[in-house]
Structure 1
């Protein structure tokens, strides 16, 4: 019985949105991860979104490495989409730069608050998907503001 729960079947992948390996499912997953890492909630007063990436940077060492590992998931999805090595390397550079900023205890959260490497990486993937898989395109309401 537990063996059935370990691996989703093709039928389950079709029924549960975002679980498949198709470009549309990948878009859903990376957008959800970016939401978690960069825009989990809005700081009242300054009206600026904050996510797990900035929160983890407050924890010296371990938090920064954890945030980089979570951000690397987005680059891994890009690799699975067979994006060019240049694009994946650019995303890795964003993650590395973000990690270097976060290595400065406490103060590292401030530049990370403005750099937003995960948002940059999701933008790279979305440009690729819009060009090569236009059927996955969604309307971004926040871009119109």
Structure 2
């Protein structure tokens, strides 16, 4: 049985290796999207929003990290429909995030990596 064939489904407890990988991906998503909080508010932002302030390079760099997360989801056995949604979230975040000024506001509000982790956790039946 291949690693792709031995995947979990919603409602099942993920295997130990899947759970560990999901935790690693969660930490990476938190760093990118919700690492810091603006005091006195519930607003959170991460490296993605900060890197987006560097024209061109910042959004491409964080987009590559997000693409790595999609690759890890593939390795974990996420189905095609989940991977397509994840790629769409990353593409939207990278493209719109590259627009000067508007992109910075978008990066602050749109949390592609947190959305992707929600998709993965729902699929693998893993609570956070």
Regarding TM over 0.5, the answer is yes
Q: Whose RCO is larger (CA < 8 A, sep 6+)?
A: 2
Q: Does 1:110 align with 2:105?
A: yes
Task: Report which of the two structures shows the higher radius of gyration computed on alpha carbons.
Answer: 1
Q: What is the match of residue 47 of structure 2?
A: 52
TM-aligned CA deviation for residue 126 of structure 1: 0.4
TM-aligned CA deviation for residue 106 of structure 1: 3.2
Once the two structures are superposed, residues 84-114 of structure 1 have per-residue CA deviations (whole angstroms, 9 ceiling, x without a partner) of 1121111001000001111112331101211
| Greater helix proportion | 1
**TM-score, with length taken from structure 1:** 0.73
Structure 2, unpaired ranges of 5+:
1-15
Residue 64 (structure 1) aligned to one of 59, 80, 88: 59
TM-aligned CA deviation for residue 45 of structure 1: 3.5
1:1-145 correspondence to structure 2 within 5 Å: 22-130=17-125, 137-138=126-127, 140=128
Structure 1, unpaired ranges of 5+:
1-20, 131-136, 141-145
TM-aligned CA deviation for residue 27 of structure 1: 1.2
CA contact (8 A) 1:78 1:88 kept: yes
How many equivalent pairs are there? 113
CA contact (8 A) 1:59 1:106 kept: no
C-alpha distance in 2 between matches for 1:83 and 1:127? 11
TM-aligned CA deviation for residue 52 of structure 1: 0.4
